[in-house]
Amino acid sequence: MSFQDRQVVVTGGTGALGTAVLEALLKAGAKCHVPHRSAKDADRSPYGKDARVTFTLIESLTDESAVSRYYASVKDLWASIHIAGGFESAPIEASDKALLMRQLDVNLVTAYLCSRAAAAALRQSGRGGRIVNVAARQALEPRLGANSTAYTIAKAGVAALTTALAAELVKEDILVNAVAPSTLDTAANRAAMPKADFSAWAKVEDVAAAILFLASPENVAVRGAVVPAYARVK
């Protein structure tokens, strides 16, 4: 797959999955744009000083005006990949409105606003393009969302956003899809769940490869899909 000289936005590009996606995109020739919340985020990225990656400070991807301005500044956008998100787990009695709203904001609202702004930028180019969201296994299998109901609701919203927007934009050759990973094998998740079977977790490189295909020019048929990325999880 070639992304030679194609402009790609990657939200959440300083996290574990985001870093794997950047690596794959850069190997494929892309020029990447990463919005981030603080200077520390860019500093910790292995691509923080890579001339092919442009880091831009945006305090919150829930700021509609800031998101719109950011996407308008990216010229000749080809694809927008939305990895930014967060996870909070709590039983329902501890999941108050504040927790629910945090999960909706960080997972669904960010994906919605970035998808909306990306659609406007891609329409302006008139060349088509790709949008890829990141849902979660719980979005497809909500019974697995016990004790993380708010997160499950938010990621189910991301899946619905993906399917609806795909139907809206397909006539303009803007293909919208999502991946739905199971637990990712990251350092943070290993620290949080030290007794888990890490071998059953989804590898970030494998999920990144799925994202890369969905965002690529080679993908000419897949749209409205929420692709399971479960690795060896049963």
CA gap 129, 8 in Å, rounded: 10
pLDDT recorded at residue 108? 98
pLDDT recorded at residue 234? 57
pLDDT recorded at residue 1? 79
In the chain, pLDDT over 90 holds for what percent of residues? 91
For the residues 47-75, what does the mean pLDDT come to? Answer: 96
Compute the mean pLDDT over every residue in the chain, rounded to the nearest whole number: 95
* Bridge partner residues of 175 (DSSP): 130
Contact 12, 86 (CB under 8 A): no
pLDDT recorded at residue 42? 86
In the chain, pLDDT over 70 holds for what percent of residues? 99
CA gap 229, 219 in Å, rounded: 17
pLDDT recorded at residue 98? 98
pLDDT recorded at residue 125? 87
CA torsion through residues 181, 182, 185, 189, sign: positive
The 3-state DSSP class for residue 128 equals coil
Residues belonging to the active site: 151
Tell me the whole-structure pTM to 2 decimals: 0.95
Instruction: Give the model confidence (pLDDT) of 110-148 as tens digits.
Output: 999 999 999 999 999 889 999 999 999 999 999 999 999
pLDDT recorded at residue 210? 97
Helix 204-215 × helix 16-27 angle, to 10°: 50
The alpha carbon of residue 218 and the mean position of all alpha carbons in its chain are separated, in whole angstroms, by 19
How many CB atoms lie under 10 A from the CB of residue 207? 26
Instruction: Give the model confidence (pLDDT) of 8-53 as tens digits.
Output: 999 999 999 999 999 999 999 999 999 999 888 888 999 999 999 9
CA gap 84, 14 in Å, rounded: 9
| Strands lying side by side in the sheet with 129-134 | 53-57, 31-36, 7-11, 77-82, 129-134, 174-181, 226-229
What is the Rg, in whole angstroms, of the alpha carbon atoms belonging to the chain?
Answer: 17
Instruction: Give the model confidence (pLDDT) of 175-216 as tens digits.
Output: 999 999 999 999 999 999 999 989 889 999 999 999 999 999
Contact 5, 216 (CB under 8 A): no
- What is the token pair recorded at 86? 């967060």
Residue 61 has pLDDT above 80, yes or no: yes
Q: Which domains does the chain have, with CATH numbers?
A: 7-229 (3.40.50.720)
Residue 99 has pLDDT above 60, yes or no: yes
For the chain, the residue count is 234
Residue 232 has pLDDT above 80, yes or no: no
